[in-house]
Amino acid sequence: MTDSDPAADSAGQEWSGRSLGSTGFDDDSGSADPALLTALADPTDEQALMRAVGAARLIVPIVAAPGEVDESGPLAVEKSTDMAVVTLTAPDGQRALPVFSGVEALLAWDSSARPSPVTAARAAQAAVSERCDVMVLDLASPRVTTLRPSMVWSLAQEASWLPAHLDPFVAQAVSRAVADEADVDSVACEDGGEAGPGVLRIALTVRPGLATEQLQALATRIGERIATDGETRARIDGLAFSLRTAQP
């Protein structure tokens, strides 16, 4: 068997009959968690998805990366090869850590990658360490799912995830941010809807007669106050405002 054989990893070791060991998953065959697959089949229920992800074993791909290179001759020659975690970069600069539900999903993406089984928390901590904004679950699969920054943060913290508009911690932070604004009559946290996945819409009811410039400045001040709190910012994937005029 050669290194190019699709039934082997990058070191030429056969996948057939192979178990994952020495990682705390000694009895792990590499199969996907059925509960996770069920959640991935309907990712619109994001709270159920995050509960399943948090309880699952994930696979982080490890690939060969050039190490020391000998450039003394007419052609550069690799003298050593290191193994490295894979990260992806989108055209907009967003960085992603690919993770997989099981070995089968990993092989569908890259048959040469070595599987490293980890808890969801360890995978998220690796994403943070690698400065990745998101985690992409089962890349190259029909069920590919992107875990947004707030989801990665909650997994890394081993904390329960809530959408920002349902998160009491976020609601308190928003209340504090508007507390000293005399022009705000009331505030509510809402699902951003068409503004995008994970976007928190802050619905402000303001006193009549404010000019456009005053409204823009008001939203900017509130947004800046929210952004200064690191934990609040980590729980919100995006921010939008809606403005309503208080009835006399």
The answer to whether residues 185 and 128 belong to one domain is no
The answer to whether residues 90 and 39 belong to one domain is yes
CB contact at 8 A, 73 and 85? no
What is the number of structural domains in the chain?
A: 2
Q: Identify the pLDDT of residue 11.
A: 46
Integer Cα distance of 205 and 45 in angstroms: 30
Q: Identify the pLDDT of residue 71.
A: 59
Query: Does residue 174 belong to any structural domain of this protein?
Result: yes
The answer to whether residues 40 and 56 belong to one domain is yes
Integer Cα distance of 150 and 71 in angstroms: 44
Residue 61: enclosing H or E segment and its boundaries?
Answer: strand 57-66
Query: Does residue 6 belong to any structural domain of this protein?
Result: no
- Could you report the per-residue pLDDT of 214-229, keeping only the tens digit for each? 999 999 999 999 999 9
Q: Identify the pLDDT of residue 28.
A: 82
Q: Environment class of residue 144 by beta-carbon count within 10 Å: exposed (0-12), middle (13-18) or buried (19+)?
A: middle
The answer to whether residues 46 and 122 belong to one domain is yes
Query: Does residue 134 belong to any structural domain of this protein?
Result: yes
The answer to whether residues 128 and 65 belong to one domain is yes
Q: Environment class of residue 235 by beta-carbon count within 10 Å: exposed (0-12), middle (13-18) or buried (19+)?
A: buried
Of 25, 1, 23, give the one whose Cα is nearest residue 14.
Answer: 1
Which residue, 156, 185, 207, sits at the end of a domain?
A: 156
The answer to whether residues 38 and 146 belong to one domain is yes
Which range of residues forms the domain containing residue 60?
34-156
What is the token pair recorded at 229?
A: 């709190």
Strand, helix or coil at 97?
strand
Phi, psi of 162, rounded to the nearest 5 degrees? -130, 145
Query: Does residue 26 belong to any structural domain of this protein?
Result: no
The answer to whether residues 41 and 141 belong to one domain is yes
The answer to whether residues 129 and 42 belong to one domain is yes
The answer to whether residues 41 and 122 belong to one domain is yes
Helical packing angle, 212-227 and 168-178, nearest 10°: 130
Strands of 81-231, DSSP E: 81-85, 88-89, 95-99, 114-119, 134-137, 145-147, 184-191, 199-206
Which residue, 131, 156, 181, sits at the end of a domain?
A: 156
Query: Does residue 12 belong to any structural domain of this protein?
Result: no
Residue 212 sits in a domain whose CATH number is 3.30.70.1350
CB contact at 8 A, 243 and 215? yes
Q: Identify the pLDDT of residue 21.
A: 44
Tell me the CA distances in angstroms from 157 to 36, 123, 152, 172, 176, one per residue in order.
20, 11, 9, 20, 24
Residue 54: enclosing H or E segment and its boundaries?
Answer: helix 46-55
Q: What SS3 string covers 115-148?
A: EEEEEHHHHHHHHHHCCCCEEEECCCCCCCEEEC
Q: Identify the pLDDT of residue 130.
A: 92
The answer to whether residues 137 and 220 belong to one domain is no
The answer to whether residues 152 and 168 belong to one domain is no
Task: Quote the pTM value.
Answer: 0.82
Q: Identify the pLDDT of residue 94.
A: 92
Identify the segments of the chain with pLDDT beneath 50: 1-4, 6, 9-11, 15, 20-21, 77-81
Query: Does residue 14 belong to any structural domain of this protein?
Result: no
Which residue, 116, 131, 156, sits at the end of a domain?
A: 156
What is the token pair recorded at 232?
A: 């609040």
